Amino acid sequence: MKRILEQLYAHTRFLVLSHVSPDGDTIGSAVALCLALEKLGKDVVCAVDGDIPEKLGFLTGYFPVHSFADTPKEGYDCIIAVDAGDLGRLGKFGALFEAVGETIVIDHHGTNIGYGKYNLIRPYGATGQIILELLEAMGARVDENMANALYAAISTDTGNFSYSNVDAALLHAAARLREQGADIPMLTERIYHVRSLGATKLLGQALERLQLHCGGRIASLYVLQADYAACGAVKEDCDELINYAREVEGVEIAIFLRETGEKTFKVSLRSKEYADVAKLAMQFQGGGHVHAAGCTAQGSLEEVLGTLLRAAEALL
């Protein structure tokens, strides 16, 4: 922590990066950090290679988050990667990250090997919890916008405080954010209780495809690219679909496939009690946590699903 603080004080111009397929933890954590750096008088740019889910768009009202195309590619003293488990998770920004001498990685993924010059990696329930501790160590005053961003980060990466990664320290962090102005009713409504008609139709399509395997211990479902137009949905509407598979009684491992290109699928993995899906993801050059991980797989739907099912069954 001390070395990270020294770098934050020493440099002037920062680029703060979220990971591809951004979620609440990476965007909320990055936005809060940018706000704190701005208060220190730093010149800060926040960016992500990918589209921010509509339900998280309010976070960009606190601090603008740029796309790869409209982000300046030079002039930074230091680049910070937030909640990105490996260099590949930075997408097109990966080459820029490698080209800058001073880099910081702040993350909570157990599979992170520490690819920055300076690394702050802690096995917390969410990267937002690490950012809060960092801001507190800086002596930064956490205002309402920062509190909202960090509460969104912590809440979304813990299933709204329902996953096994929730411990007393994380709940204390959430309580501190509430004291500092986090608007929990507003955040809960925006993140969890609003779904577009297109997203609702996509949910129905995915649930029609839900299948059980391995005596009901594994559940799978998938979404194809053609489904978006048919349902009036967007890819961000897939974010929570895997939970419907995980919640089926008796299921230990849930597998969700989202088609991203010809014979290419983004794979999300979840487990309920004992299976380490991070080990499963690592077999396919992915990573993540014990109970939540992901990877990318090549092949037809039948090939990818078949390979994953065989690996998942072996894990069980």
pLDDT in tens, 196-232: 999 999 999 999 999 999 999 999 999 999 999 999 9
What are the tens digits of pLDDT across the range 236-275?
899 889 999 999 999 999 999 999 999 999 999 999 999 9
User: What mean pLDDT is reported for the chain?
Assistant: 96
45 pLDDT higher than 90:
yes
Entry pTM: 0.85
> Looking at residue 4, what is its pLDDT?
97
Domain chopping of the chain, boundaries: 2-192, 197-315
Give per-residue pLDDT as tens, 139-189.
999 999 999 999 999 999 999 999 888 999 999 999 999 999 999 999 999
The mean per-residue pLDDT over the stretch 91-98 comes to 97
Look at residue 289 in the predicted model and tell me its pLDDT: 86
Could you identify the residue written with the tokens 């797989």? 297
Domain covering 2-192, topology: inorganic pyrophosphatase (n-terminal core) (3.90.1640)
**Confidence category of residue 288, pLDDT binned at 50, 70, 90:** confident
Asked whether the beta carbons of 161 and 144 are under 8 A apart, the reply is: no
| CATH top-level class of 197-315 | alpha beta
